[in-house]
Structure 1
Amino acid sequence: MLASRSPDVITLGCRLNLAESETIRALAGSRDMVVINGCGVTNEAVRQTRVAVRRARRDRPAAEIVVTGCASDMDTAAFAAMPEVDRVVPNAAKLLPATWGGFPNHRPTRRHARAFVGVQNGCDHSCTFCAIPLGRGPSRSEPVGQVVARVAALVEDGAREVVLTGVDLTSYADGLGTLVEAILTGVPRLPRLRLSSLDTIEIDDHLFDLVTSEERVMPHLHLSLQAGDDLVLKRMKRRHSRAQAVAMVARLKAKRAIAIGADLIAGFPTESEEAAANTLRLLADCDIVHAHIFPFSPRDRTPAARMPQVAPGVARERAARLREAAATRRAAWLATLVGSDQQIVIEKPGDRGHTPAFAEVRLPHPMATIGDIATVRITAAADDHLIGTPA
């Protein structure tokens, strides 16, 4: 679960939420308000949204507390009934100036090393475990020209890396490859472009060629894999098979040294021990070094919630097994980077950053201005990050 907090906006959930929170922050001005931009992807995410609401009221007793995001859309009445909440804003209205009093200030309110840009929202697919279409609606995309202008403005304001985000990013209406090419061409001063979660079955030849040949596109892809067993994938209503996922990763890595990340669900309904083992083996088969692993959490109004459930304890144990194996793989990958020189974008508070392959590097002391690109020598590796010094 990603989490970020500022004096006026609390963000939980996906990178698209992070991007949208920046717009909300710009629109809301400097009034005495706390906006909780919550997540509804799992029951735990909804619980964390409620915790954030209560904490915000304790921390800012006089502020207006506003809840928005997928969690509030899926359970509007429950959030509106919370005594801490002053207002619930639908997801569809959270980026409208009128919602926040008509302040049309879309300029960033602070300089970021990495900026998130939402280019696509909603989803037209019907994965049986996913409640996000209930909170986000059907797929829709921002116009290419509008995205290019937004990226150009962010670069002008100091962003050195831009991350394209979306609920189903590879379903971008004009083709994600078309958008990526337009950004690279239209914003030549952008040093680093990163893509968030991709659906392997929608990586077409145009996008494949850009990802594997353009140095400004970062060599790090996070894939929406979810499982490594064909029967489970079928019951999830995913559109790829295990073999297709493995083949796509092999094609990508044959062309470029790309670090692979993936979302994986443990304990999906009807998952057998054999199926769980197939997902465990996917870590090696796809060389996954950035793994996001979740035990299955049934969501109301989804088909998976009505399927025969795996016992919660079993799901948690399988998730722990996956996390342990993923951590071992990640530590081994990080160790291979010791002794190399890496370029990082300096992030707050100035003593850390990420390599192009999205390995975190920590430095002994602040060394440059936030947002600068610096070359560092990797001197050691911890279990989940690298240690570096100016090269």
Structure 2
Amino acid sequence: MGLSGKSVAFHTLGCKLNFAESSTISRDLQAAGMHLVDLNKGADVVVINTCSVTNQADVECRAVVRKALRANDQAFVVVTGCYAQLRPSEIAAMEGVDLVVGAQEKLHLRKFLTDLSKQSEAQIHSCDIQAVEQYQAAYSFGDRTRAFLKVQDGCDYKCTYCTIPMARGVSRSAPLDQAVAQARALVKKGVQEVVLTGVNIGDYGKGELGNKRHDHRFIDLLLALDEVDGLDRIRISSIEPNLLNQEVIDFVSGSQRFVPHFHIPLQSGNNEILGLMKRRYQRELYQERVEAILARHPDACIGVDVIVGFPGETEDHFLDTYQFLQNLPIGYLHVFTYSERPGTEAIDLPGVVPPVERKARNHRLRLLSAQKQKAFALAHEGSVRRVLWEDADRQGYMQGYTENYIRVSAPFDTQRAGTVEHIVLGPWNAQDTMSVQSIVQPSVAS
């Protein structure tokens, strides 16, 4: 049975890397003649790209399967992604699921869609994660503004809470020439900002040529991408503090393309908890990295990942983290509540934090994040910034980000959407973003 003329819908859970891979699968299926529709439009094929970061993966997956089948009870349901790699049999047993595709196979999904009739048992195509060594390229492309470019996959770290090495395999990288070629291709499509993404992108270069040696370093990738003509902005999605060295900080601060925005996972501001997590740094190094960034670029935005409720985290440990973050000159937090993941070391650690306390700590840090984000934005009120407007019409408003990751909104304007504009930042507005005080001509801004 051919795919031409069939409809396909995607639902992607989790990280930017998942979105890049979903977009790549989608392009391949459209090249085979399928057309893309919304999930609620009753697609012939539904692809669910899952996440395994929290213990809600199964709940989220089941909910999407039910939603897909409500729209079309004969939809051929495919589940892929990290959860599919970790728990293929569990997913195959879910009512309505027809195909489970693992990490090595997901970007070749098309070849498994030879028969779209629903059967009594789901098919599973998933190899052992130890066999996953080949790098597979991916990028997202949805509009004229921003694309996520995958440059690295997998992780060799052994953080005690994390399932990613079990779901994605060893650290491996895009060949340098391939990454540069994809960036150039995105420029030709009209993309103005590329976000570099991966599992541990600071480890870039490892496994580039099918071995464990670093044939290139992360800084080599940055230097090469900085030479791509026509690319307005490059953003680093997330980088481990122990891999964010002074050479990278200095380079970004002097680049006209790389923006002053660093997202750096912390996970805990208490050294004892960092040790239990088997993180590769202590909080003193993290603070040094933040200070080094701001010394070179005072306007830089720094985002932080943090986990609350890790086993053994007492109220004093949490307050240590809270005060550490409160005193750091950062722009925002991404707060995650610890959840037990089968197969991880942390699941056997003593000192389990009650779920109600985990939730309370999450709430406290989210409030701190909102305060930090607003304070960072207001500190730049009246300054001239370059904002990249997104295409979406959000109830009469368009939104965009400045180079240093300040969210801005203005009344929707078709002519300005999808463009880069020099503006003077106005006050905080009802959309919980900064407003536009005035538009500045580029010659004046420079």
Q: If the TM-score is normalised by the length of the shorter chain, which range does it land in? A: over 0.9
Partner of 1:16: 17
Output the amino acid matched with 1:298: E
Give me the whole-angstrom Cα distance separating, in 1, the residues matched to 2:424 and 2:225: 30
Partner of 1:3: none
Q: How far apart are residue 235 of structure 1 and its match?
A: 0.3
Percent pairwise identity: 36
Give me the whole-angstrom Cα distance separating, in 2, the residues matched to 1:109 and 1:307: 42
**Is the contact made by 1:288 and 1:326 (CA closer than 8 Å) also made in structure 2?**
no
Change (3 A) 1:149 1:58: same
SS state of the match for residue 289, structure 2? helix
Partner of 2:200: 168
* Relative contact order higher in (CA < 8 Å, ≥ 6 apart): 1
Partner of 2:378: 335
SS state of the match for residue 95, structure 1? helix
Output the amino acid matched with 1:172: Y
Partner of 1:266: 308
Q: Does 1:120 align with 2:152?
A: yes
Give me the whole-angstrom Cα distance separating, in 1, the residues matched to 2:182 and 2:149: 8
Output the amino acid matched with 2:378: A
**Is the contact made by 1:349 and 1:366 (CA closer than 8 Å) also made in structure 2?**
no
2:62 to 50, 54, 60: 50
Return 5+ residue gaps in structure 1 as ranges. Answer: 1-5
Instruction: Provide the TM-score with structure 2 as the length reference.
Output: 0.81
2:364 to 311, 321, 343: 321
Q: Does 1:135 align with 2:167?
A: yes
Partner of 2:257: 216
Q: Which moved more, 1:93-102 or 1:124-133?
A: 93-102
Q: Does 1:310 align with 2:357?
A: no
Q: Which moved more, 1:364-373 or 1:228-237?
A: 364-373
SS state of the match for residue 256, structure 2? coil
**Is the contact made by 2:21 and 2:139 (CA closer than 8 Å) also made in structure 1?**
no
For residues 224-243 of structure 1, the aligned pairs below 5 Å read 224-243=265-284
**Is the contact made by 1:250 and 1:286 (CA closer than 8 Å) also made in structure 2?**
no
Output the amino acid matched with 1:380: P
Q: How far apart are residue 328 of structure 1 and its match?
A: 1.3
Kindly provide the CA deviation profile for residues 150-178 of structure 1, in whole angstroms up to 9, marking residues without a partner as x. Answer: 01001100100000000011111121111
Aligned length: 382
Instruction: Provide the TM-score with structure 1 as the length reference.
Output: 0.92
Give me the whole-angstrom Cα distance separating, in 2, the residues matched to 1:241 and 1:99: 46
**Is the contact made by 2:12 and 2:48 (CA closer than 8 Å) also made in structure 1?**
yes
Output the amino acid matched with 2:399: R
Give me the whole-angstrom Cα distance separating, in 2, the residues matched to 1:70 and 1:203: 26
Change (3 A) 1:212 1:295: same
Q: How far apart are residue 240 of structure 1 and its match?
A: 0.6
Change (3 A) 1:237 1:203: same
1:85 to 71, 76, 97: 97
Q: Which runs of 4+ in 1 moved over 4 A?
A: 106-110
Partner of 1:280: 322
SS state of the match for residue 322, structure 1? helix
Root-mean-square deviation (Å) = 2.1
Change (3 A) 1:60 1:207: farther
Give me the whole-angstrom Cα distance separating, in 2, the residues matched to 1:18 and 1:107: 8
Q: Does 1:37 align with 2:78?
A: no
Give me the whole-angstrom Cα distance separating, in 1, the residues matched to 2:276 and 2:145: 40
Give me the whole-angstrom Cα distance separating, in 2, the residues matched to 1:19 and 1:322: 29
Output the amino acid matched with 1:386: M
Q: How far apart are residue 7 of structure 1 and its match?
A: 6.5
Return 5+ residue gaps in structure 2 as ranges. Answer: 1-6, 36-43, 115-137, 206-215, 440-446
Q: How far apart are residue 248 of structure 1 and its match?
A: 0.8
Q: How far apart are residue 38 of structure 1 and its match?
A: 1.0
Partner of 2:435: 387
Q: Does 1:184 align with 2:226?
A: yes
Kindly provide the CA deviation profile for residues 215-242 of structure 1, in whole angstroms up to 9, marking residues without a partner as x. Answer: 3111111111101000000000000101
Q: How far apart are residue 146 of structure 1 and its match?
A: 0.2
Kindly provide the CA deviation profile for residues 254-306 of structure 1, in whole angstroms up to 9, marking residues without a partner as x. Answer: 00021010110011100111210111123234322221101111101101011
Output the amino acid matched with 2:364: R
Partner of 1:297: 339
**Is the contact made by 1:266 and 1:318 (CA closer than 8 Å) also made in structure 2?**
yes
Output the amino acid matched with 2:341: R
1:196 to 237, 257, 274: 237
Change (3 A) 1:234 1:71: same
**Is the contact made by 1:158 and 1:371 (CA closer than 8 Å) also made in structure 2?**
no
